[in-house]
Structure 1
């Protein structure tokens, strides 16, 4: 058994118990990666890190892994590469295979965007042109066994029912790329709302277009499309509840728990389409295995004189909707209640105010709540900071929060019906050992138990607040509790006196 070499190419707290993986020879998915060379883009991202850790830990007979990286925010390639392996998410790997880095040589640059409000030109270059370039490279690889394209379940959110199939985009990929290359930023910004049409942002718009490109340009490649929904903390791997970003639902739960987010426009009974991160990775690796098996079957037929012919060319590229709602749905209201149930047991010293968060379906009610609960206090606090010589930060901070809230609200006031028959068939196709090693079935998923350690993960891994500070956090929690209710009592008393004053004037 040889060490895995990770080869980059230069371009320009607390750990919750995690089930350690004991790889056995009966794993067909592990076997498919034996002596394989894997190229990963986005290796510094949340999903990329989990893909990397999972492969290195469960597939020790890998030959090489290539990672595409770039210098960013003053950090050089080697520094960013080393940071990938610094976090608690890599501890299980270091325990299982402490020599995994001994043959590391160099790193590759990768550009990726996770911003929903990204300018159209940037989003098109990264999400569309970047995929086109990768497809060209993949087409030159002689022994390509599998290509996994990670998209999003919301790439076709302009539809109410989303099946595991391709849908027509708002504009062809060729026309989009020609357009963004011809027009300057100012003109593009003006016509962007017209171009994206029923898509809420440039991210999902360009993701849909990149899927259409794959449909037309990758017919001869062993490729599969993975569509995860809103990605949240891990279930088991690499460690329970691990999360390293504030995006999506995680940002909402964190903001509410810290007492800085008081309202979100959302319908409590609507399904919150969320999926744990390690389930996404496991489904992706299983999809690669199935794709490689299908390629080997076709290659075998061709070598035996059986023509794949028109059937193989017309065979649609497989799409996997990695979602929870098809098997174990959870609503926004229930997810908020579960966070509120478990968060008070692990209060943080970083808490700003008592939790006063509420889901509000009515837009007017939400905006009024935002004005009185966010905007007014922010200006008052910034005014006090200005008076005592400190830098005002609250107003700018809430402007960013409100921008984030508007993105999430789009998905929280709407519902979609997702089909995931391909995912369910893939699960049933797997051996019992592979189902153990690569768990992703959401059938009868225990959301209550999940939120008990997801909330801990948010506290430990995002706030960097270890669990041994709970006693201090609890003291602050009760101080803020009494302060919050004291303020409410004073405000109610003032309102009462004001109404009585008006009453006396009238009568």
Structure 2
């Protein structure tokens, strides 16, 4: 078997990561530590809840990688601050030593205030690019975007589209607005876009095209990133952003879903996503133009929400949750009027009953408020459950073709390898154990509750 070209690329390199404490960031760090011989991974982190960035990093990594300390270090900073909030000595260290950059940091909430979304997704990206231009030994920069970045289009190619609002105009406009004023004006600002996340990520891409000035940079657009397929363990997930809807259904909280179930569901397991990102950094280092990689599933291995629901219904019975509020039942509804009525009938009526029982026992009623917030989250993703897009993924396929057998074994990301039926059967167990911290030891008790 030929020697891995990707391993050679990462040998003794210094890697700088933003967003390292998030779902994708954690898997990226773990994969780099396990599969490559990088010399050091610098992770941009804020101090939080009275803890230093080093303490936060230790909490995140000590269980998964007890040997991480010699190869991972926390760098205090914040994407929304000027110059990333870096101390002068940390800044100089990064400038003199960094070889590879993964920009994963983003606010991914579809309902985020547009001022905050702009600061993180656009302004933070500009601050990073300005810093990267000073790096003395830079080989590659991977900017993580999203496949849904131009969701108002019918077809999304591997190109950067011009944004109708220039990033400097957006900054000038938004800095004059309070959060409340920005919230009121958001619909008129977004125009064709459906949420602040895709709007600001599209703006960041357009900005990169304008100001990257010859940086060895590429844009990686994954679809909906979900639980792992195999690595670091089967069905690992710790993010409600991607599987929150499924978790809420399993808890019996959400009982109606605005979907017809037949549309392709653009899911990509996180371990395949990270392997693709790591390979992209190697690929980008050999290319002059800005390459865009659409990493999606519908082209080569399509699946639908209906496929998932069919299997998940049986798995919810096999792996019921000890924390379930009600026995899980759900219905897919496409008619908007009937969906609105069903939310009241099936979600909120039960929530009111639950709160009434709490009042009788002198406890604070909270369920109705939570249900309404959860419904807002579900409604914000309704488009992605009811519409399909025509993607191109030629650059992803060319990358896979350029990799030798050793690299394909070490960094597998061919979406055709995913058996969706097997993946869906394992997903409920992963949500139970990793996302909801509900150990399998509680299964007997949960099954008894389910049968009542």
TM over 0.5: yes
Q: Give the match for residue 263 of structure 2.
A: 270
State the partner residue of 2:229.
Answer: 235
- Find out whether 1:33 has 2:10 as its counterpart: yes
Give the conservation status (yes or no) of the 8 Å contact 2:145–2:219.
yes
Which of 259, 262, 281 in structure 2 is aligned with 1:288? 281
Q: Distance in 2 between matches of 1:164 and 1:202?
A: 22
- Report if aligned partners of 2:42, 2:73 keep a CA contact under 8 Å in 1: no
Residues 44 and 74 of structure 2 are in contact (CA less than 8 Å); yes or no, is this contact kept in structure 1? no
CA–CA distance in structure 2, aligned partners of residues 466 and 31 of structure 1: 40
Equivalent of 1:225 in 215, 219, 224: 219
Distance 2:241 2:197 in 1: 14
Pairing 1:468–2:441 present:
yes
Partner of residue 68, structure 2:
100
Q: In the TM superposition, what is the alpha-carbon distance from 1:44 to its structure 2 partner?
A: 0.4
Distance 1:474 1:336 in 2: 20
Shift of 1:219: 3.9
| Aligned counterpart in structure 1 of residue 177 of structure 2, from 178, 183, 186 | 183
Distance 1:106 1:228, change over 3 A: closer
How far is 1:354 from its partner? Answer: 1.7
Alpha-carbon RMSD across the aligned residues, in angstroms, is 1.7
- The DSSP-based 3-state class of the residue aligned with 2:447 is helix
In structure 2, stretches of 5+ residues that fail to align are 80-105
| Alignment partner of 1:65 is 2:59 | no
- CA offsets, 1:366-425, max 9 Å, x none? 112111111122122212322321110111110111111111212112221111111111
Aligned counterparts of 2:211 and 2:182: Cα–Cα separation in 1: 26
The answer for the alignment partner of 1:342 in structure 2 is 315
1:468 Cα deviation after fit = 2.7
Deviations for 1:248-272, whole angstroms, at most 9, x for unmatched residues?
A: 3x11221112211101101211111
The CA deviation at 1:185 is 3.0
Post-superposition CA distance 1:294-319 (Å, at most 9, x none) = 3xxxxxxxxxxxxxxxxx5xx3x100
Using the TM superposition, give the Cα deviation of residue 202 of structure 1 relative to its aligned residue in structure 2, in angstroms.
0.7
Describe the superposition over 1:326-358 as per-residue Cα deviations: whole angstroms up to 9, x where unpaired.
111111111111211323222221122222111
Aligned counterpart in structure 2 of residue 203 of structure 1, from 197, 200, 210 = 197
Q: What does residue 391 of structure 2 align with?
A: 418
Give yes or no for contact 1:66–1:108 (8 Å, CA) kept in 2. no
Distance across 1 between alignment mates of 2:180 and 2:369: 25
Distance 1:341 1:424, change over 3 A: farther
Does the 8 A contact of 1:346 with 1:456 survive in 2? yes
Structure 1's unaligned 5+ residue stretches are 1-23, 295-311, 480-507
- Structure with greater Cα Rg: 1
- Conserved? CA contact 1:265–1:366, under 8 Å: yes
1:54 maps to which of 14, 31, 37? 31
Once the two structures are superposed, residues 186-222 of structure 1 have per-residue CA deviations (whole angstroms, 9 ceiling, x without a partner) of 4322321111111111111000000001111114010
C-alpha distance in 1, partners of 2:228/2:283? 23
Deviation at 1:469, TM superposition (A): 2.5
- Corresponding pairs, count: 426
Change (3 A) 1:460 1:470: same
Q: Distance in 2 between matches of 1:84 and 1:370?
A: 37
* Deviation at residue 25 of structure 1 after TM alignment: 7.8
